[in-house]
Structure 1
């Protein structure tokens, strides 16, 4: 039964501590053959006034945004076509790659690329999987697409996976995979 102890400065809210506990449990389970329920995570807290580094007291650093919440918000914002709000979530140099290897750098390019493909698309989310790689948060979003082809024919149940990279609280990259081409070919 692994026991992980991490000492935090006081000040993190319960949701942040819960995210940290889950992340530590998952990290241990990914390396050791231990069931999550057998992994104990202890998080004692220090009063910030009783801690010094470099001769100065320190305050707790802010938590990173939850990648799954960020991705959900971004995708709902895009679905509503609130491009200004979505653009505010992008880092300089943001890139996206869509099926067929279509690379784009702006949301306007994406909207133009989508126009000759379908009238609209909505997403139903099955789950979000997040992980950390150094300073980069990575989040996969799985689900199905529904919407309407250009001729007005509805479609639904088309699988998709989106992969996002986040640095400094902003999206740096999006990669998209889906079965739209196969579904379109079957409907023809």
Structure 2
């Protein structure tokens, strides 16, 4: 597989994975992960289980979706690295909507499967900026 082909395939895997997570289709998301898969979100250590992710996320938002503005990928013989960036929109735990929150995700793909996901976003900063009575 050429680098361009492996980059395109890696980007497809990432987009499919993100769409599955947004739809809460955890079986599809899990099928796209490889051995030793780990994910890290702001304020967490490594997580390996999607149920753990859902439990952690429940206190942060009711619903979240991503608008992807750009995808960049790099590949060598061993792995592909894919970055996605854009904005988050969704609902806080109290049902109040939010949007326009920046994010960057970094993925490592080996043999067509995601082995590592790292997430950076401004969700905590935006939540902290809300009035105290609605931060729950």
Q: TM-score, with normalisation over the residues of structure 1?
A: 0.65
Runs of 4+ in 1 over 3 A off after TM superposition: none
Q: How do 1:90-109 residues align onto structure 2 when only pairs under 5 Å count? A: 90-109=33-52
2:115 corresponds, among 165, 172, 175, to: 172
Q: Matched residue of 2:12: which SS? A: helix
Task: Please give the alpha-carbon distance, in whole angstroms, between the structure 2 residues aligned to 1:71 and 1:143.
Answer: 14
Matched, 1:160 2:103: yes
- Give the aligned length: 130
Deviations 1:123-152 (A, max 9, x none): 000010000143110000000000000111
Q: Which residue of 2 aligns with 1:36?
A: none
Point out the structure with max Rg over C-alpha.
1
Deviations 1:9-45 (A, max 9, x none): xxxxxxx88x73xxxxxxxxxxxxxxxxxxxxxxxxx
Q: Which residue of 1 aligns with 2:11?
A: 68
2:9–2:112 CA contact under 8 A, matched in 1: no
Task: Please give the alpha-carbon distance, in whole angstroms, between the structure 1 residues aligned to 2:86 and 2:45.
Answer: 21
Q: How do 1:1-188 residues align onto structure 2 when only pairs under 5 Å count? A: 20=4, 64=6, 66-188=9-131
* Structure 2 unmatched ranges of 5 or more: 132-136
Alpha-carbon deviation of 1:69?
1.4
Task: Please give the alpha-carbon distance, in whole angstroms, between the structure 2 residues aligned to 1:150 and 1:110.
Answer: 16
Deviations 1:75-128 (A, max 9, x none): 001100110111011112100111014320111111111011110001000010
Task: Please give the alpha-carbon distance, in whole angstroms, between the structure 2 residues aligned to 1:164 and 1:115.
Answer: 23
Q: TM-score, with normalisation over the residues of structure 2?
A: 0.89
